[in-house]
Structure 1
Amino acid sequence: MGRLHGGDMLKFLADAGMLASMKVGKGLAVLASLDEVLFKRGANLGDIVTVDARVLYIGKTSMEVEMIARRGSETIVTATGTYVKVDNKFRPAPVGDIVVPETEEEREAVAKAMKRREVKVNKLKNKNTMRICSNDPTNFLRHRLSNTTFVGPTMTYDGSVVSAGALLKAMDDLGGTLALRYNGIDHYSPKQDGVVTVAVSDIFFYSPIRLGDIIEMNAGLTFVGKTSMDILINVNRLNMENQECSHVTTAYFSYVRVDPEGRKKEVPIYIPENEYEVELWKESARRRGAVSS
């Protein structure tokens, strides 16, 4: 459709944040969580897009990072995330530095980063078991899609641990494919409708994925609006050496159907039928603010 793929943009953002974190932390940093990603505008073929990342706050081993993609002076995608500095055994390591805001704008950005950090810490307080292999939360959904991937060197940062950007792109590819299938779109044509990524919910990464692991991803449709869809994506990893399974992440990706000119277009009506579909529908509606929590 002549547009930059949403998964590619996610990879650009994650990689830019990683590079900023590594520069400040003077060592390898991995993505621990990605706050809400908002796609404000799309990027088209031939556009020049710049991605900026800056470290706003430094904790003992972690860094709060802001990522912004721009086309000229126009902001097209925003995201924030937490990166953790790790040693050569991927254990958290002290950053050993501080960030001192110098302007009012920087002080406000740091204050917001601190608030986001507090919210994330509260969310994780009672999630000590999240590393345990997750049951497939899409199992009872009518519209679902699965993918299993072997982790080769091209998916890693340095030949040992998976790039968060590569994983996010793989998740978006799966979610986007399911959204296309739901809309009855099974091939590309310049005159064919398509779907675009518009948002990604908070993502927490509970277990690192290493070279030689197997990634199991499951995606399921949970909510449909007038022109948009929510896709729940769950990721587990299987260690081939000891056959241990670990939960990596679970997140909601939101897509919008568009015509060949990029205008929003209505999607087929979806009515949840079983109890589980109704439950996830309500959860998506709460996140969207469609109903009170």
Structure 2
Amino acid sequence: MTAAPSLCVGEAIAQLVRPIYPRYANRYGTLHGGYAAWWLLETGAMAAVRAARGYAVLGAIEHLYIHSPGRLGENVFVYAAVIGSTEHTLDVAAVAVAEPVGGGAARLVATSLQTYVAVDEEVRSRRHGVRVAPCGRWQGEEDLYRVHLGWLERRRRLLPEARGKAGELLASGIPGVGRIESLHVVSMEDTFTLPGVLDAARLFYLIDQVAAVAAIKSLGGPVVTAGFDEAFFLSPARLGDIVSIDAALTGAGRTSVEALLRVRIERPSRDEQSLMAILYATLVSIGDDGRPAPPRRRPEIPAELQEGYLERRRRRSEARRRAEEMAEALLSLVRSRGLVV
């Protein structure tokens, strides 16, 4: 048997540079969270497709966090590198940094840890035939590989739970207050790496919009996105499908709220419906000066939901610490490869 070809951690890498034009910014002149998510996932997909030597679709995220706002006029540099693999999947670490107008040190804007599944043209899982491992060529390889191993262990524990909830959450409404629903028909402009299949980057832009609307309506004021927790994408949406996104608030802090989102796929031509994903988003209330501030209205969250939120917030703090460590390792690798940071 021929051994699978090896790739060094970080050998399959993709880069994206985007100036923050007004169309990418919110009312306060900072980068819209939906675009930050879009750019991270777009770059991650390019790295995964390069390593998989064929089509790959997003199967999961460990996190997607906004660490600091990108500002109008700044250039955002996004780097994504393949850091580990299984027989059918590739893990990708992604980071976005902003270069201040007029120069200066780059600033961390956002991070994400993503898992892609190698697929064929029919979106069936396939063996990609690549083994990703550290080989000592660049700084940060070992640290990034440990990130992959840690996420792989957590993913194997969490995935059965997510699949178990799929049937229950498909049939019932999601818990929370201020529930809203948005519908979107998948068109050609929504596809990217795989023709006829909804692109994950576009999907996250839509998810971000729905989460923000739910928060704005309940709080009575503007919000910005702080991030998304882990999520598993259980089925793809195809051209012509209707994507239904529900959002409801499930927790509230002094200046932030948590929203639970459910993403469903409806295929009217076959009278079919399936669950794509469930995930939590965190949004921050913003005052007139563009800084975090207590909202005009505080949502009344049921006690049992608030209790769950407080536990998730504790875990979220730990996950953010891991995300910052991942960013340091990835930027170290990027610099050692001679790429611009």
When normalised by structure 1's length, the TM-score is 0.89
- Code of the residue aligned with 1:66 in structure 2: it is A
| Counterpart amino acid of residue 64 in structure 1 | D
| Structure 1 residues 136 and 170, CA gap change in structure 2 (3 angstroms) | farther
Letter in 1 for 2:111: T
Alignment of 1:27 onto 2:54: yes
Q: Does 1:121 align with 2:146?
A: no
Structure 1 CA distance for aligned equivalents of residues 119 and 60 of structure 2: 15
| CA shift for structure 1 position 278 | 3.0
Match of 1:16 in 2: 43
Cα root mean square deviation, aligned: 1.8
Q: How does 1:107-146 map to 2 (within 5 A)?
A: 107-129=142-164, 132=167, 134-138=170-174, 141-146=176-181
Contact 1:137/1:234 (CA < 8 Å) preserved in 2? no
- Choose which of 196, 201, 212 in structure 2 pairs with 1:165: 201
**C-alpha displacement of 1:60:** 0.7
| Cα distance, 1:128 vs structure 2 | 4.3
Percent sequence identity over matched residues?
26
For 1:1-293, what aligned pairs fall within 5 Å after superposition?
Answer: 1=27, 2-72=29-99, 73-101=106-134, 102=136, 103=138, 105-129=140-164, 132=167, 134-138=170-174, 141-157=176-192, 158-185=194-221, 194-267=222-295, 268-272=297-301, 277-289=302-314
Query: How big is the shift at 1:147?
Result: 0.8
Assess if the C-alpha contact under 8 Å between 1:130 and 1:247 holds in 2. Answer: no
Name the aligned partner's letter for residue 282 of structure 1.
E
In 2, the alpha carbon distance for the partners of 1:254 and 1:42 equals 15
**The 10-residue stretch of structure 1 (119-128 or 71-80) with the greater mean CA deviation from structure 2:** 119-128
In 1, Cα distance between the equivalents of 2:163 and 2:230? 17
* SS of structure 2 residue aligned to 1:71: strand
Shift of 1:269: 2.6
Q: Deviation digits for residues 57-115 of structure 1, max 9, x if unmatched? A: 12111001000000132111111010011111111111112223224621121012111
Q: Secondary structure at the match of 1:125?
A: helix
Higher helix share: 2
Contact 2:177 2:299 in 1 (8 A): no
Structure 2: which amino acid aligns with 1:97?
V
Q: How many residues align?
A: 277
Report if the CA contact (8 A) 2:261-2:280 is conserved.
Answer: yes
* SS of equivalent to 1:15: helix
Q: Structure 2 length as normaliser, TM-score?
A: 0.77
Unaligned ranges ≥5, structure 2:
1-26, 100-105, 316-341
Q: 1:131, 1:207 within 8 Å by CA — same for their partners in 2?
A: no
Cα pair distance change 1:148/1:25, threshold 3 Å: same
